[in-house]
């Protein structure tokens, strides 16, 4: 298994990457502001259930296949970009009457499911598991799969901590938005634009290096 200095360096580098907002953070913040702390934390759980898919894929070698195949990587990349654009368009087309002070909240199961899909198709997370994490796995330290699982679980724990912090901070704005239809609409428009922009960025994410 990786030694403690390696794990420490990996943890610091991982936390630095996690703190940079990406599609998952935008999703969590949007849900937290719109529906409050509970919705934000459910979204965090969904996002990191998606992270477990990346951990399993890396441990089973699927990430290596994606890294070696430009076609497979491109399919995953464009699927993620398309889903982000879909979320953005849906936000922009939401036409709740301006005078409504209260709107139906998104069910928790849907929050969880959307968070799961957002991170499974998240190019930022995919690239981390394709290019960054394997650098900390040492073939001389034992079988690679258990090392990748350990490193992946460190990512998940740190990710839940950082994303949970985003959710708690953003939920402080929830009360104001629940009282203001105009503020909710501005949030929908703003988050819709950001989702679409992130989808565009994802679509132009670099291909894996040719083997």
The model's pTM is 0.72
| pLDDT value, residue 112 | 96
Question: 168 pLDDT exceeds 60?
Answer: yes
Work out the mean pLDDT of the chain and round it to a whole number: 78
164 located within any domain: yes
Work out the burial of residue 52: count CB atoms within 10 Å of its CB; fewer than 13 is exposed, 13-18 middle, 19 or more buried. middle
- Assess if residue 209 is contained within a domain: no
Question: Residue 148 corresponds to which tokens in the numbers above?
Answer: 């990748």
> For the chain, how many structural domains are there in total?
1
In angstroms and rounded to an integer, the radius of gyration of the C-alpha atoms of the chain is 18
Averaging pLDDT over each range in 35-44, 77-86, 91-100, 189-198, which range is the top one? 35-44
Query: Which tens digits make up the pLDDT trace of 47-58?
Result: 999 999 999 988
- Our measurement of the distance from residue 157's CA atom to the centroid of its chain's CA atoms, rounded to an integer in Å, reads 14
Per-residue pLDDT at 75 exceeds 60: yes
Any domain includes 208? no
210 falls within a domain: no
Domain that holds residue 97: 4-203
Q: Give the whole-angstrom CA distance, residue 93 versus residue 85.
A: 12
Please determine, for residue 192, whether its predicted confidence score (pLDDT) is greater than 80: no
pLDDT of res. 77: 66
pLDDT score of 34 more than 70: yes
Buried b (16+ CB within 10 A) or exposed e, 11-41: beebeebbeeebbbbbbbbbbbbbbbebbbb
Residue 189 within a domain: yes
């Amino acid at each position: 298994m990786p030694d403690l200095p390696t794990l420490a360096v990996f943890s610091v580098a991982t936390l630095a990457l996690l703190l940079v907002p990406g599609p998952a953070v935008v999703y969590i913040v949007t849900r937290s502001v719109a529906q409050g702390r509970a919705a934000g934390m459910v979204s965090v759980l969904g996002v990191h259930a998606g992270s477990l898919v990346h951990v399993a894929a890396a441990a089973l070698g699927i990430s290596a296949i994606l890294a070696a195949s430009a076609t497979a990587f491109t399919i995953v990349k464009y699927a993620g970009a398309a889903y982000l654009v879909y979320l953005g368009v849906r936000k922009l087309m939401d036409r709740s009457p301006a005078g409504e002070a209260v709107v139906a909240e998104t069910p928790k199961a849907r929050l969880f499911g959307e968070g799961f899909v957002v991170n499974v198709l998240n190019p930022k997370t995919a690239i981390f598991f394709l290019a960054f994490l394997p650098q900390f796995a040492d073939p001389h330290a034992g079988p690679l799969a258990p090392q990748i699982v350990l490193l992946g679980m460190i990512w998940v724990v740190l990710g839940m901590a950082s994303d949970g912090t985003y959710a708690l901070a953003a939920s402080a704005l929830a009360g104001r938005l629940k009282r203001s239809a105009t503020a909710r609409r501005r949030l929908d428009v703003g988050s819709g634009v950001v989702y679409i922009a992130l989808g565009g960025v994802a679509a132009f994410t670099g291909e894996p290096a040719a083997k």
